[in-house]
Each structure stands twice: as C-alpha cells, then as structure tokens.
Structure 1
C-alpha cells in the first residue's frame, strides 16, 4: 500500500490492530444509541450521551484499574483489511454508483463515522469500489466506483447493487475511510448469511453489515469507528426517567432479535440483542426497535 492515494490525496497510515474475533453480542453501546438519535434527527438524551466504558483493565501491580477509552464499549476501531488488486484512485465524487438500466438487486447502505469518544466525524472521505452483478471489476473506467464525504452529522448514504460473486471470495464491498487530517482506513464490508463467509479466509464477522429486504431491494447499515481522538461528550445527568406509558416493554429485560413488545399502544420487533435500559424505549431508538 506504499504510495497509494485516495481522492483526497492522502497516503494511508498504519491502522490499529484488530480486536479479538467472535466476541459475544453486547447490549447497545453509546455509538448505537447515538446512531439512533442521529437517524431520528434529534439530540441523544443527556442521560445516554455520557455512558461510561463498560470494561476496565486491572493494573499490572494490582493498583487502580485503568479506564478503557471512552468509546471502548464493544466499539473498538473498525478493523482494517487488505486493499486487494482492484483499487483505482481518482474515482468520481458521487453517492450513487448506478447508471440507467444497471442490472442487479438495488442496495442502499447507510451509516455513520464515529471517533473514539463515539462522536460523529463530519467531512470524512469514503471511497467505495465493488464488483458488478457478474462478479467483475471495471479496471478501465469507474463503474461501481465512487467517493463521497460524511455530512455535518457524520452520516453517509451509498446507492449501489448487491455485488456479484467471483472465485475465492464471498460477497463484499471495498471502502477507504479517512477523517480530515488522519490516516486512511482500508477495509471491506460483508453480508450476513452468505454461504461463502465460512470459506473466505479474509472474512471478518466484525465487518458484517446489518441487511434487510426492502420490497425487492435491500437495505444495509454499517457504522465506522475511526482511531480519531475526541473530547468525551457530556456526563450523564442521573435524573429520573418517565415510566413507560403502558405495554410489555420493560427496562432491565434482555431482548433477543425478533422479540416483540408493545409500548404506548404500538407493537415493535427487536432488531438486535440488547439489555433494555431507561431512555431506550422503542420509539426513541429505531436502531433497536422497528414498529410493526
């Protein structure tokens, strides 16, 4: 990767070492809650903005435990992956990789870019490239290649197709991510439930997108966490929360994906495993609950 450039002209730096694979599911992190609040275009509740790290590292001499980084609650920096042979610099700036009549299943990928304090990073470069529906890369032009920048809230949206398969690899999308003035993260995004995930030596479950069908198309979500130092958000207020306005949802309950609850006269289905906490009621966190 020496000498490699991105549309922003940056040279990739050394990425953080990946964390241990196969970690069990955790309850929602500050990042998850912030993502939900940003997606709802409202500020995250003050009681959630300062959720502390969940783990501590004991001192080697048995002294005072050292706090883990503010965002190290299961959201370690996104692990890097190899660039592969098909990257091309100077891709066009665009959020849609589709042309009129492009064959393939439409795919919309949305997400956010966060730093180490789980705060969104604006104006982050994301350069995507992928195979077409037949598993081929365009090495002469820029089909299924393009870069964009996150908005003021750290959000991005990519419109493309589900990439095709080619020998030796499972389905994936390549991406380079670079916060302003920071090194480039080169990595790949994967699709859940793919048979080749178990045979692809590069596959990393930490890079799985959340994907769902959407009327003949597919919708995916993935949030990047970059090794970008940030000032932690406000401390929690510790104030009381309002009791749920009736229903089966209850704080302190461990919900599994697919579980159904009622809250305020409406029904919801759980989107990911988590331990319910005050402030995470279904209407407030669309990343965890979907109305049905």
Structure 2
C-alpha cells in the first residue's frame, strides 16, 4: 500500500518488514525502500511497536456487488486442474489501528474467471481463509478477466473476531479501465510485479480494530446463547443452538468471539 517511494516508510511497513524477517518487533529502518517486506534485518535491537499515527487509515470499504455467495470453501488456492489464466499470488498482512498484526481474521475472496464470468452455480474462484499468528495471508488464483463496465478487480470480505465485516475490492495498477470505472479507488491498488510467467501482488489491510502498543486486546465474550461456546472445536455437520436459532457447522474450526453462527455465514448455516 506504500505509494510514495521517496518518503520514509510507514510504521506499518517497518513492522511488516520485521514480520517477513521473522523478528518479533520492528527495528528502526528509516531509509528502507517502499516495499519494506523485502528488507533484510539490520541486526539492531528491535524497539517496541509504536502507535500507528502515520496516516494509515482503515482500508476503505466498497460495495459487495451482485455476485457474492456465502458458504465458500475454506482454501488458500482457488486454482483447479486445467484452470486457464495467468497465475496470481496475493500476499499481505492484516493490521489493526496500532499497526499490530491481527491473527485469525476471516478473509473471504471471490472473483471473475479469465473470461470475466462469475460462477453463480458453484464455487469456482471463491474461497475463504484465516490469517496466521503473524497476521499474514496468501491467496493463489489467476488474474481475473474483464467484463463490461468494470476494471480488473478482486472482491474480499475481512472480519476480525468480534468486529464488523469489511467488504472491499482490490485493484491492479496500470489498467486502462482504472480511469473509467466509477468504483475504482487508488487506495485499494495492490503492488504487482511479474514473476516466472505469472504475477505476484501484495496488499496489507488495516481494519478498524482498536489496539495499544502492547499486546492486543483480549477477546470479548460473546452475548449469551444456547449450545454454541467459545473454545469449542466444531466439525462439519455439528449442530448447535444460538439464541433462538439452530445452526449446522459448514467448516471445521475452533469457535472464537466474533464467529457466532449468525455472524459467520462461511462457518454456519441456519437450520
């Protein structure tokens, strides 16, 4: 998301570089290039993560569009045998307002195929995943095709445990239709480069999740409700009650605050 290579990197970029290098906190790396994730560790002692007061507003929302479907399969690759199209790998991190990574964030992606068509009958080019302990994610897919009225884009929903859902879209730099698509937002441009016959893209989400420079806030107990319980490991087909409703588990997971059945359609089906 760094779009000003001549400026110092944001605190978020410095922390991202530290995460990529495998250290627990960012060092002072003033003078590194904009793509800070590629910077090698300096060997200096890491400092505590500072407050995120560097202009990193939360990632802006965008419309869902007509093609979203709940209950997508859990997977990090949307490719299937024989899938045509230019391979695309999207990597990044999800941060809160203090530039600290957020683990366990639900990311639900959907997109058009190489011909610009969405699969509304099944789940081709649809899938959800969760960020790792360091807030990172990786999506393997193809560069989506074009269809009338829109520039090239990916759709995504992001939800941290116990927080509202962010619905937005990601865009590709250098696309001619970026200038004519009324929904295009330059703040949602990915960083994209060619790599071995495919493309590699990077984007970091900032969610509206309050944080302090210390450890992230503890979980918020969910409102009361029936048989569903935080910390319980659920398997596909398990049935629970929550409030006055009954729900069936769609994906194996361990329940966390914010993933109550009514709030997590990728995990639970009513009935």
Structure 2 length as normaliser, TM-score? 0.69
Structure 2 CA distance for aligned equivalents of residues 176 and 72 of structure 1: 25
Asked if 2 retains the 8 angstrom alpha-carbon contact of 1:191 and 1:209, the reply is: yes
Shift of 1:36: 1.0
Q: Is the 8 A contact 2:93 2:137 kept in 1?
A: yes
C-alpha distance in 2 between matches for 1:165 and 1:154: 31
Cα offset, 1:46, TM superposition: 4.7
Give 4+ residue runs of structure 1 displaced > 3 Å after superposition: 23-26, 44-52
How far off its partner does 1:187 sit? 0.2
Structure 1 residue 77 corresponds to structure 2 residue 47: no
Which residue of structure 2 lines up, in the alignment, with residue 143 of structure 1?
A: 124
Q: Where in structure 2 are the equivalents of 1:133-212 lying within 5 Å?
A: 133-212=114-193
Contact 1:110–1:157 under 8 Å retained in 2: yes
**Paired residue secondary structure (1:151):** coil
Long gaps (5+) in structure 1: 1-22, 53-69, 235-292
**1:205-263 deviation line (CA, Å, top 9, x unaligned):** 000000000011000000000000111149xxxxxxxxxxxxxxxxxxxxxxxxxxxxx
1:1-292 alignment runs, 5 A limit:
26-47=7-28, 49-50=47-48, 70-233=51-214
Q: CA deviation at 1:75?
A: 1.1
Distance 1:40 1:121 in 2: 17
**1:75-122 Cα deviation digits (max 9, x unpaired):** 110000000000000000000000011000000000000000000000
| Runs of 5+ unmatched residues, structure 2 | 30-46, 216-271
- Provide the aligned C-alpha RMSD in A: 1.7
Paired residues of 1:117 and 1:233 also in contact (CA < 8 A)? no
State the Cα deviation string for residues 172-230 of structure 1 (Å, max 9, x = none). Answer: 00000000010000000000000000000000000000000001100000000000011
Separation (CA, whole Å) in 2 of partners of 1:85 and 1:42: 42
Alpha-carbon separation, structure 2, partners of 1:148 and 1:228? 19
Distance 1:39 1:176 in 2: 24
The count of aligned residue pairs is: 195
**2:14/2:27 contact within 8 Å kept:** no
In 2, Cα distance between the equivalents of 1:133 and 1:172? Answer: 12
Contact 2:156/2:169 (8 A) holds in 1: yes
